[in-house]
């Protein structure tokens, strides 16, 4: 599950990760983003092609989001995050149920209540609705923030592997297809040029993280209904096949 927060992260993190790799001449990935930040300043994406020996002629495509969250490590981390948010989901569900109960009471008994009672009930609903919407948005933002951390951690280790794969297989350019056109300049990329699955397989083998047991469940945080801004609905996290 990914949100617009992860996409914002990836827009900068992809450049940072690949630039750092280029400046170290293809050395092994740093142990952590914090270490990288201290040792290698972020470089502009315009410097990447000049720094990396990409002499191939083929053009490849990779769904960075799909690769990160389709890896065994990514899936396991997201499952752990989902488990962490289960109490918050239960809390929000309870708030939502109570709110819906009040709305039902107003709909079924509103015409039988006196003016003061009806006004009091409407005010209670309005107050709880605002509180509920804020709680939902806060939960979504917190979930997205922690999802960013997962993506950044994995990307730091995956970026050198992507570059090595590209160099060894004759690719002169790799484009990211995480966003659909027209959000990205990539109109379409056929399966023949997609390296997502190959990268995920290599990463799984190198990381040594076993595939997590499928729970079949996805965290579903209730959506605010007051029109407040909220993260976009996540896309599929499965890597392209």
Q: E-strand spans in 2-127?
A: 58-62
The helix/strand count (H/E) of the chain reads as 7, 2
Q: Which region among 28-42, 57-71, 146-160, 209-223 has the lowest average model confidence (pLDDT)?
A: 28-42
**pLDDT in the model for residue 185:** 82
Please state the rounded mean pLDDT for residues 177-193: 84
Per-residue pLDDT band at 153 (split at 50, 70, 90): very high
**pLDDT in the model for residue 218:** 53
Per-residue pLDDT band at 164 (split at 50, 70, 90): very high
**pLDDT in the model for residue 85:** 95
**pLDDT in the model for residue 213:** 82
Q: Which region among 146-155, 161-170, 177-186, 214-223 has the lowest average model confidence (pLDDT)?
A: 214-223
The Cα 132–Cα 129 span in angstroms is 5
3-state secondary structure labels for all residues of 64-85? HHHHHHHCHHHHHHHHHHHHHH
Please state the rounded mean pLDDT for residues 91-114: 92
The answer, yes or no, to whether residue 178 has pLDDT greater than 60, is yes
């Amino acid at each position: 599950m990914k949100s617009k927060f992860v996409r914002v992260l990836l827009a900068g993190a992809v450049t940072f990760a690949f630039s750092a790799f280029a400046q170290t001449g293809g050395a092994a990935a740093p142990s952590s983003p914090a270490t990288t930040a201290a040792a290698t300043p972020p470089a502009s994406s315009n410097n990447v092609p000049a720094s990396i020996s990409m002499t191939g002629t083929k053009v490849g495509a990779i769904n960075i989001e799909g690769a990160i969250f389709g890896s065994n490590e990514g899936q396991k981390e997201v499952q752990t995050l989902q488990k962490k948010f289960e109490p918050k989901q239960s809390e929000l569900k309870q708030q939502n149920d109570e709110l819906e109960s009040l709305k039902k009471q107003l709909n079924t008994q509103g015409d039988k209540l006196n003016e003061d009672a009806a006004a009091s009930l409407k005010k209670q609903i309005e107050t709880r609705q605002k509180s509920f919407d804020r709680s939902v948005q806060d939960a979504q933002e917190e979930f997205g923030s922690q999802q960013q951390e997962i993506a950044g951690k994995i990307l730091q280790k995956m970026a050198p592997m992507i570059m090595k794969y590209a160099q060894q297989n004759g690719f002169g350019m790799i484009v990211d297809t995480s966003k659909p056109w027209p959000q990205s300049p990539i109109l379409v990329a056929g399966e023949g040029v997609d390296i997502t699955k190959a990268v995920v397989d290599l990463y799984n083998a190198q990381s040594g993280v076993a595939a997590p047991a499928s729970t079949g469940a996805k965290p579903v945080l209730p959506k605010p209904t007051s029109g407040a801004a909220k993260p976009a609905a996540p896309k599929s996290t499965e890597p392209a096949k």
